[in-house]
Protein backbone atom coordinates (compact mmCIF):
# COMPACT_ATOMS: atom_id res chain seq x y z
CA UNK A 1 0.00 0.00 0.00
CA UNK A 2 1.26 3.46 -0.96
CA UNK A 3 -0.02 6.84 0.15
CA UNK A 4 -0.08 9.78 -2.26
CA UNK A 5 -0.85 13.16 -0.70
CA UNK A 6 -1.71 16.07 -3.00
CA UNK A 7 -1.71 19.58 -1.52
CA UNK A 8 -2.67 22.70 -3.39
CA UNK A 9 -0.56 25.55 -2.02
CA UNK A 10 -2.10 27.79 0.61
CA UNK A 11 -3.87 30.97 -0.47
CA UNK A 12 -1.48 33.19 -2.43
CA UNK A 13 -1.35 36.99 -2.46
CA UNK A 14 -2.95 36.98 -5.90
CA UNK A 15 -5.61 34.45 -4.86
CA UNK A 16 -6.51 37.04 -2.24
CA UNK A 17 -6.68 39.75 -4.93
CA UNK A 18 -8.66 37.44 -7.25
CA UNK A 19 -6.11 37.67 -10.08
CA UNK A 20 -5.14 35.17 -12.76
CA UNK A 21 -1.70 34.08 -11.54
CA UNK A 22 -0.44 31.20 -13.64
CA UNK A 23 3.37 31.17 -13.89
CA UNK A 24 3.90 34.48 -12.05
CA UNK A 25 5.92 33.80 -8.90
CA UNK A 26 3.61 35.07 -6.16
CA UNK A 27 4.12 34.17 -2.49
CA UNK A 28 1.62 32.99 0.12
CA UNK A 29 -0.70 35.39 1.90
CA UNK A 30 -0.86 35.38 5.71
CA UNK A 31 -3.89 33.09 5.47
CA UNK A 32 -2.02 30.87 3.01
CA UNK A 33 0.80 30.37 5.49
CA UNK A 34 -1.72 29.35 8.14
CA UNK A 35 -3.35 26.92 5.68
CA UNK A 36 0.05 25.37 4.92
CA UNK A 37 0.80 24.92 8.63
CA UNK A 38 -2.66 23.41 9.13
CA UNK A 39 -1.92 21.01 6.25
CA UNK A 40 1.19 19.90 8.08
CA UNK A 41 -0.79 19.33 11.27
CA UNK A 42 -3.43 17.27 9.44
CA UNK A 43 -0.73 15.12 7.82
CA UNK A 44 1.05 14.71 11.14
CA UNK A 45 -2.16 13.35 12.71
CA UNK A 46 -2.32 10.37 10.35
CA UNK A 47 1.24 9.32 11.21
CA UNK A 48 2.42 8.44 7.72
CA UNK A 49 6.14 8.57 6.98
CA UNK A 50 6.70 10.47 3.74
CA UNK A 51 9.51 9.08 1.59
CA UNK A 52 9.58 11.68 -1.20
CA UNK A 53 8.46 15.28 -1.54
CA UNK A 54 7.76 17.13 -4.81
CA UNK A 55 6.87 20.73 -5.59
CA UNK A 56 6.81 23.13 -8.53
CA UNK A 57 9.31 25.92 -9.27
CA UNK A 58 6.90 28.49 -7.81
CA UNK A 59 7.44 30.02 -4.39
CA UNK A 60 3.87 29.51 -3.21
CA UNK A 61 4.29 25.77 -3.79
CA UNK A 62 7.83 25.70 -2.36
CA UNK A 63 6.89 27.63 0.80
CA UNK A 64 3.76 25.56 1.37
CA UNK A 65 5.91 22.44 1.29
CA UNK A 66 8.54 24.04 3.56
CA UNK A 67 5.92 24.86 6.20
CA UNK A 68 4.50 21.33 5.96
CA UNK A 69 7.96 19.78 6.34
CA UNK A 70 8.77 22.08 9.28
CA UNK A 71 5.59 20.87 11.00
CA UNK A 72 6.47 17.24 10.25
CA UNK A 73 10.09 17.78 11.34
CA UNK A 74 11.11 16.24 8.02
CA UNK A 75 14.23 17.57 6.28
CA UNK A 76 14.21 15.45 3.11
CA UNK A 77 15.20 17.67 0.18
CA UNK A 78 12.20 18.03 -2.15
CA UNK A 79 12.40 17.52 -5.89
CA UNK A 80 11.39 20.69 -7.75
CA UNK A 81 9.83 20.40 -11.20
CA UNK A 82 8.57 23.17 -13.47
CA UNK A 83 6.27 20.57 -15.01
CA UNK A 84 4.21 20.77 -11.79
CA UNK A 85 3.69 24.53 -12.24
CA UNK A 86 0.26 26.09 -12.42
CA UNK A 87 -1.41 26.43 -15.81
CA UNK A 88 -0.20 29.44 -17.84
CA UNK A 89 -3.15 31.83 -18.32
CA UNK A 90 -1.65 33.70 -21.26
CA UNK A 91 -2.95 37.24 -21.79
CA UNK A 92 -5.24 36.89 -18.75
CA UNK A 93 -2.20 36.80 -16.44
CA UNK A 94 -2.34 39.51 -13.77
CA UNK A 95 -5.93 40.52 -14.58
CA UNK A 96 -8.74 40.57 -12.02
CA UNK A 97 -11.23 37.75 -12.56
CA UNK A 98 -14.30 39.79 -11.62
CA UNK A 99 -13.28 42.65 -13.94
CA UNK A 100 -12.79 40.18 -16.78
CA UNK A 101 -16.25 38.73 -16.14
CA UNK A 102 -17.70 42.21 -16.67
CA UNK A 103 -15.63 42.70 -19.83
CA UNK A 104 -15.93 39.25 -21.45
CA UNK A 105 -18.96 37.82 -19.69
CA UNK A 106 -19.09 35.23 -16.92
CA UNK A 107 -19.60 32.34 -19.36
CA UNK A 108 -16.46 33.17 -21.38
CA UNK A 109 -14.26 33.54 -18.28
CA UNK A 110 -15.61 30.25 -16.95
CA UNK A 111 -14.71 28.61 -20.27
CA UNK A 112 -11.16 29.99 -20.05
CA UNK A 113 -10.82 28.72 -16.49
CA UNK A 114 -12.48 25.31 -16.75
CA UNK A 115 -12.61 24.14 -20.36
CA UNK A 116 -10.37 21.27 -21.45
CA UNK A 117 -8.64 22.59 -24.57
CA UNK A 118 -9.44 26.32 -24.84
CA UNK A 119 -6.44 28.65 -24.48
CA UNK A 120 -6.46 32.39 -23.71
CA UNK A 121 -4.54 34.56 -26.19
CA UNK A 122 -0.74 34.26 -25.79
CA UNK A 123 1.03 36.56 -23.35
CA UNK A 124 3.43 38.86 -25.20
CA UNK A 125 7.07 37.94 -24.65
CA UNK A 126 7.98 41.49 -23.57
CA UNK A 127 5.40 41.42 -20.77
CA UNK A 128 7.10 41.40 -17.32
CA UNK A 129 4.78 38.55 -16.29
CA UNK A 130 5.99 36.31 -19.12
CA UNK A 131 8.06 33.38 -17.73
CA UNK A 132 10.94 34.38 -20.04
CA UNK A 133 11.29 37.52 -17.88
CA UNK A 134 11.13 35.75 -14.49
CA UNK A 135 14.46 34.68 -13.00
CA UNK A 136 13.37 31.31 -11.60
CA UNK A 137 12.72 30.00 -15.13
CA UNK A 138 16.14 30.85 -16.59
CA UNK A 139 17.23 27.20 -16.35
CA UNK A 140 14.29 25.94 -18.43
CA UNK A 141 14.91 25.60 -22.19
CA UNK A 142 13.16 28.52 -23.87
CA UNK A 143 11.31 26.26 -26.30
CA UNK A 144 9.58 24.58 -23.35
CA UNK A 145 8.29 27.83 -21.83
CA UNK A 146 4.67 28.48 -22.87
CA UNK A 147 2.99 31.76 -23.86
CA UNK A 148 -0.41 30.34 -22.88
CA UNK A 149 -1.88 26.93 -21.99
CA UNK A 150 -5.13 25.01 -22.00
CA UNK A 151 -5.87 22.53 -19.21
CA UNK A 152 -4.97 19.81 -21.73
CA UNK A 153 -1.49 21.34 -22.16
CA UNK A 154 -1.06 21.39 -18.39
CA UNK A 155 -2.30 17.80 -18.15
CA UNK A 156 0.20 16.63 -20.76
CA UNK A 157 3.26 18.01 -18.96
CA UNK A 158 2.09 17.10 -15.44
CA UNK A 159 1.15 13.52 -16.29
CA UNK A 160 4.33 12.95 -18.32
CA UNK A 161 6.38 14.05 -15.31
CA UNK A 162 4.31 11.90 -12.95
CA UNK A 163 4.72 8.80 -15.10
CA UNK A 164 8.48 9.36 -15.46
CA UNK A 165 9.41 10.42 -11.92
CA UNK A 166 6.70 9.43 -9.44
CA UNK A 167 4.65 6.46 -10.66
CA UNK A 168 7.45 3.92 -10.13
CA UNK A 169 7.90 5.08 -6.54
CA UNK A 170 4.18 4.54 -5.95
CA UNK A 171 4.48 1.02 -7.40
CA UNK A 172 7.34 0.39 -4.97
CA UNK A 173 4.99 1.32 -2.10
CA UNK A 174 6.68 4.60 -1.25
CA UNK A 175 4.71 7.45 0.30
CA UNK A 176 4.69 10.64 -1.76
CA UNK A 177 3.65 14.22 -1.02
CA UNK A 178 3.19 16.70 -3.87
CA UNK A 179 2.76 20.42 -3.21
CA UNK A 180 1.42 21.96 -6.39
CA UNK A 181 -1.39 24.10 -7.83
CA UNK A 182 -5.08 23.98 -8.60
CA UNK A 183 -4.72 22.99 -12.25
CA UNK A 184 -1.68 20.74 -11.90
CA UNK A 185 -3.52 18.80 -9.18
CA UNK A 186 -6.71 18.75 -11.26
CA UNK A 187 -4.62 17.27 -14.08
CA UNK A 188 -3.27 14.54 -11.81
CA UNK A 189 -6.77 13.78 -10.53
CA UNK A 190 -8.06 13.45 -14.09
CA UNK A 191 -5.33 10.88 -14.76
CA UNK A 192 -5.57 8.98 -11.47
CA UNK A 193 -9.38 8.84 -11.29
CA UNK A 194 -9.88 8.46 -15.05
CA UNK A 195 -12.16 11.50 -15.25
CA UNK A 196 -13.50 12.54 -18.62
CA UNK A 197 -13.29 16.05 -20.09
CA UNK A 198 -16.72 17.00 -18.76
CA UNK A 199 -16.04 15.76 -15.23
CA UNK A 200 -12.75 17.63 -14.92
CA UNK A 201 -14.50 20.96 -15.55
CA UNK A 202 -16.45 20.42 -12.28
CA UNK A 203 -13.50 19.50 -10.06
CA UNK A 204 -12.53 22.18 -7.52
CA UNK A 205 -9.33 21.90 -5.48
CA UNK A 206 -9.30 23.80 -2.15
CA UNK A 207 -6.15 25.61 -1.05
CA UNK A 208 -4.14 24.11 1.80
CA UNK A 209 -6.17 20.94 2.33
CA UNK A 210 -4.26 17.65 1.84
CA UNK A 211 -5.94 15.07 -0.39
CA UNK A 212 -4.96 11.58 0.79
CA UNK A 213 -5.05 8.84 -1.86
CA UNK A 214 -4.36 5.21 -0.93
CA UNK A 215 -3.10 3.00 -3.77
CA UNK A 216 -2.66 -0.78 -3.58
CA UNK A 217 0.08 -2.91 -5.18
CA UNK A 218 -1.96 -3.28 -8.35
CA UNK A 219 -2.19 0.47 -8.77
CA UNK A 220 -5.86 0.59 -7.74
CA UNK A 221 -7.08 3.50 -5.63
CA UNK A 222 -8.73 2.02 -2.53
CA UNK A 223 -9.51 5.20 -0.62
CA UNK A 224 -9.44 8.94 -1.13
CA UNK A 225 -10.45 11.84 1.11
CA UNK A 226 -9.48 15.34 2.22
CA UNK A 227 -7.86 15.41 5.65
CA UNK A 228 -9.69 18.59 6.67
CA UNK A 229 -13.29 17.46 6.25
CA UNK A 230 -14.73 20.92 7.01
CA UNK A 231 -13.02 22.44 3.95
CA UNK A 232 -13.37 19.39 1.69
CA UNK A 233 -14.68 19.64 -1.88
CA UNK A 234 -16.64 17.13 -3.93
CA UNK A 235 -14.24 14.56 -5.43
CA UNK A 236 -16.74 13.31 -8.02
CA UNK A 237 -15.48 9.74 -7.63
CA UNK A 238 -15.40 8.74 -3.94
Active centre residues (catalytic):
9, 86
- In 3D, which of 194, 157, 172 has the Cα closest to residue 83? 157
Q: What is the pLDDT of residues 2-21, one digit of tens each?
A: 999 999 999 999 999 999 99
Record: fold of 2-231: Rossmann fold (3.40.50)
* Residue, of 170 and 106, whose pLDDT is higher: 170
Spatial CA neighbour of 189 closest among 139, 229, 227, 233 = 233
Distance between CA atoms of residues 55 and 81, nearest Å: 6
Mean pLDDT (the chain, rounded):
93
- Count the Cβ atoms, other than its own, within 10 Å of residue 117: 10
The CB-side HSE value for 3 (13 A sphere, CA atoms) comes to: 19
d(CA 226, CA 39): 10
pLDDT at 237: 56
Whether pTM exceeds 0.85: yes
Amino acid sequence: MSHLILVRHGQSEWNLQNKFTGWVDVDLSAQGKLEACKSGEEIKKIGIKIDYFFCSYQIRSINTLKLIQDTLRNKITPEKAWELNERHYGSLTGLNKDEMKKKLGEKKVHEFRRSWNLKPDPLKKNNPYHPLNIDIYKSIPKEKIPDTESLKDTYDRVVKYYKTNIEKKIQNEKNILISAHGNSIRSLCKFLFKLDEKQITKLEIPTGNPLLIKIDRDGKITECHYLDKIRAKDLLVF
